Amino acid sequence: MRTQVCIIGGGPSGLLLSQLLDRAGIDTVVLERRSRDYVLSRIRAGVLESGTVGMLEKAGIATRAHAEGLPHTGTYLAVQNTGFRIDFDALIGKQVLVYGQTEVTRDLYDAREKAGGIVIHDLDGVELHDLDTDAPHVTYVKDGTTHRIDCDYVAGCDGSHGPSRQAIPKDVLTEFERVYPFGWLGVMADLPPVSHELIYANHPRGFALASMRSPTRSRYYIQAPVDDPLDKWTDDAFWDEFRRRLPHDSAEALITGPTIEKSIAPLRSYVADPMKWGRLFLVGDAAHIVPPTGAKGLNLAVSDVHYLFEALTSHYRDGDDHGIETYSQTALKRVWNAIRFSWWFTTTMHRFPGQESFDQAIQDSELRNLQTSVNAQTVFSENYVGMPY
């Protein structure tokens, strides 16, 4: 098979890149190791930056997001069971949209299917070849047969465990990492959210987040040891601990009941540099990981897609390779800004092992400053809603 851009990974970033390139007249093939049903079963975040919504509009797949998504013009922060609101709309005239990543992926699958896009599922042994030449190719095994795709470029949208980043020589790649000494215990419940906007809570017992997927489905988290056994956290144990960490008025309004999903996720910050080697581009989790505090993961992948789409369209339309040559430097500037914001928000809101009264007092002071300073709230809003591309 021959295509212009071979995309490794059929998650939202790979499908979005394929959809955008297709609309620009550039051929793609998407390779996804798992089945479509498996990809759509993954529970992921759902807070979309304004720039991400703009990219969905550009891809022609934003209709359902606008119809079913929940626009949020602000968010709540809490410290020691007392909360305050930051008004994005009043401060910077922007908002975020709560719309699940699974739904974004579903919309993209539907669009690629309608356009006749090639997405190949259920395969093994993906290998990238001759990336440092003018004739790269990708091989994979499906149903016991090895297949080959010749292409101009390869986009690695295959996450942190995929083969794309592994294809960059070790003496070329520099990796930066910070592992956090706790995890997020998350539950999903078909219950009305405790608040119409997100609540991020700092508490001496640990962090908590009240989020949602819809007016009838809640997504809640508490900070917990990453190696805690899930059976320790019965529904009653989770609700008791979650209630303790919320602002008092929210705790009183909380509706509890059976959970439909429960898991513990580790937290880390990670960056790979460079994000381009030869004819290979890294996109999304293949190049960087952020802790979920502030919901930057999907949004940062979409900004990579933006830069790569612009670079490839300039190449094929105008013969201009400046965007391709500078893709890594350009993308990494925004990556590091999001890494910094997520690190700051994580360290400000969580309880760390060995944390003393001084450390909690500093966190309290940081949040009080955010509560009282319009300038601090403006900077927070700019980062939370998303810096411009």
Determine the Cα–Cα distance for residues 284 and 12; give it in Å rounded to an integer.
Answer: 10
**Torsion angle (degrees, nearest 10) of CA 293, 299, 301, 305:** -170
Annotation says 140 is catalytic: no
Q: Exposed/middle/buried for 144, CB within 10 Å: 0-12, 13-18, 19+?
A: exposed
Q: Which of 137, 203, 296, 306 is catalytic?
A: 296
Residue with tokens 């090895």: 146
Query: Given its phi and psi angles, is residue 288 left (phi above 0), alpha (psi -120 to 50 degrees) or beta?
Result: beta
Determine whether 200 is an active site residue. yes
Spatial contact of 194 and 266, defined as CB atoms under 8 Å apart: no
Instruction: Write down the catalytic residue from 193, 288, 292, 306.
Output: 292
Angle value at C-alpha 339, between 333 and 344, nearest 5 degrees: 130
- Length of the chain, please? 389
Separation between Cα atoms, residue 322 and residue 324, nearest integer Å:
5
292 is catalytic: yes
Of 72, 203, 288, 306, the active-site residue reads 72
- Residues 76, 140, 307, 384: which is the catalytic one? 384
Catalytic residue among 76, 140, 153, 200: 200
Triad 262, 267, 269: Cα angle to 5°? 150
Note if 99 is an active site residue: no
389 is catalytic: no
Catalytic machinery residues: 72, 200, 292, 296, 384
